[in-house]
Copies of this chain bind each other. A is one copy, B any other.
Amino acid sequence: MQRESAIFRALGDPSRLAIFESIARREAPVKELTAQFRISQPAVSQHLAALRKAGLVTVRRDGRLAYYGLKSSGLKPLADWLSHFQAFWPERIGRLNALLKEVD
């Protein structure tokens, strides 16, 4: 109940959302993420700490590199929360259903 708010807040910053989406595409060390955006390395690290605190990403350290990757269960609370509202957009059900069949 209060956890979704934290997730929303974590993804509410454009830079942080972009970083998250990049990580979601593929795991990457801080160095690479820093090169990707126009903010300093400490800023990236701070965003990563926020994402980690929100349970959205994980770290894997290898030598002096810290690889950040998507935490698979991270978005689950959001999905659960969202499913509460599915009754309100029936036009969406069809597409979601199709997507699920694809996965099966």
Contact = CB atoms under 8 A, between A and B. Distances in A.
Interface of A: 2, 4-5, 8-14, 17, 24, 70, 72-73, 75-76, 78-79, 82-90, 92-93, 96-97, 99-100, 103-104
Interface-centre pick from A70, A86, A93 (highest chain B CB count, 10 A)? A86
Copy tally for this chain in the complex stands at 2
A87 B103 contact: yes
A53 B40 CA distance: 31
A8 B17 CA distance: 9
Given A11-B8, A12-B5, A17-B4, A100 B96 contact: yes
A12 B14 contact: no
A82 B88 contact: no
